[in-house]
């Protein structure tokens, strides 16, 4: 799952890696599970999982919830996450920017980042339309499926990108394969132009706009996106892009600034 531990089969797994595998698994499932179920579904020894779950429970990293001995992510994680959010305090400005974007365009606006080697939607503001387009927050999505994905890996070399992205992630939900060379070409194009737009390759009715939010190193630390119906996207392309770029510019220096006293 996390591409770190299954390098060699048959080896013993390290407790820490297993622990975070459990946490990631629960996050992905988005529901409380019994230790037994966790063990079965991630393919880990039951005794190890029980041991780890108990350890994590004692530390407040996991919590009993949902009854029947089921566990889910715990309060301590919330506090740690809040500390991260506070340190790189993009969130406050971010919400405001998304709100403005959604108001101006009436389209769904998203703030996206990489989570390891996957793409994920961190914040979202739904647009003001009768049929709204939305996605799940915090779900892991293969990088090549998304417009933002082109921007978020653009600081890497071609070779680096292909080792970074799991090869099966080039398989689209329909089953067709995306040519990695074609993907790389789009990455370079996105890097040159400073944005990327396309008719989404994961459905048949949306058009996606993505612009990078730069960190101080000049990399794309995140992206701002609009997800629109295809005809609206094409009709308002220039205006939407301009709005997005303004919005991204207002965030560009925000990340990674500590606010120590």
Partner DNA sequence: ATCATCTGTACGCTATATTGGACATAGACG
Partner DNA sequence: CGTCTATGTCCAATATAGCGTACAGATGAT
Chain residues binding a second copy by CB under 8 A are: 2, 4, 14-17, 19-20, 23-24, 26-27, 30-32, 52, 55-56, 58-61, 65-66, 72-88, 113, 115-116, 120, 122, 137-138, 256, 258, 260
Residue 152 backbone zone (phi > 0: left; psi -120 to 50: alpha; other: beta): alpha
Interface with DNA, residue 18, by CB under 7 A: yes
Q: In whole angstroms, give the CA distance from residue 77 to residue 194.
A: 35
- Residue 133 touches which member of DNA, a second copy, none, C-beta under 5-8 Å by kind: none
Interface with DNA, residue 12, by CB under 7 A: yes
Shortest CB 68 distance to DNA, Å: 6
Nearer to a second copy, 25 or 198 (CB): 25
Q: In whole angstroms, give the CA distance from residue 53 to residue 23.
A: 10
Nearer to DNA, 71 or 213 (CB): 71
Binding mask 31-70 for DNA (x = CB under 7 A): ---xxxx--x---xxxxx-xxx-x-------------xx-
Q: What angle do CA 204, 186, 242 make, to 5 degrees?
A: 75
Shortest CB 42 distance to DNA, Å: 11
Task: Identify whether the C-beta of residue 43 lies closer than 8 Å to the C-beta of residue 55.
Answer: no
Q: How many CB atoms lie within 10 A of CB 163?
A: 11
Shortest CB 168 distance to a second copy, Å: 21
- Residue 48 touches which member of a second copy, DNA, none, C-beta under 5-8 Å by kind: DNA
Interface with DNA, residue 29, by CB under 7 A: no
Nearer to a second copy, 139 or 199 (CB): 139
Nearer to DNA, 39 or 227 (CB): 39
Q: In whole angstroms, give the CA distance from residue 179 to residue 37.
A: 37
- Provide the binding-site residues for DNA, judged by CB under 7 A: 11-16, 18, 34-37, 40, 44-48, 50-52, 54, 68-69
């Amino acid at each position: 799952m996390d591409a770190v531990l299954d390098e060699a089969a048959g080896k013993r797994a390290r407790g820490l890696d297993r622990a975070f595998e459990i946490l990631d698994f629960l996050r992905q499932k988005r529901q409380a599970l019994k230790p037994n179920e966790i063990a079965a579904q991630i393919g880990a020894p039951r005794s190890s999982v029980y041991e780890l779950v108990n350890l994590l429970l004692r530390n407040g990293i996991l919590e009993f919830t949902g009854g029947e001995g089921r566990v889910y992510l715990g309060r301590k994680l919330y506090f740690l996450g809040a500390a991260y959010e506070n340190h790189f305090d993009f969130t406050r400005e971010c919400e405001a920017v998304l709100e403005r974007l959604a108001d101006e365009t009436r389209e769904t606006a998203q703030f996206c980042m990489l989570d390891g080697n996957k793409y994920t939607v961190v914040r979202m503001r739904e647009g003001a339309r009768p049929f709204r387009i939305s996605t799940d927050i915090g779900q892991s999505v293969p990088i090549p499926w998304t417009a933002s994905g082109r921007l978020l890996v653009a600081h890497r070399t071609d070779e680096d990108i292909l080792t970074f992205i799991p090869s099966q992630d080039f398989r689209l939900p329909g089953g067709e394969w995306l040519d990695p060379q074609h993907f790389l070409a789009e990455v370079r194009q996105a890097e040159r132009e400073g944005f990327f737009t396309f008719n989404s390759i994961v459905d048949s009715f949306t058009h996606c706009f993505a612009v990078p939010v730069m960190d101080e190193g000049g990399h794309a630390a995140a992206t701002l996106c609009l997800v629109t119906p295809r005809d609206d996207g094409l009709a308002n392309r220039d205006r939407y892009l301009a709005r997005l770029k303004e919005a991204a510019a207002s965030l560009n220096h925000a990340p990674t600034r500590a606010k120590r006293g």
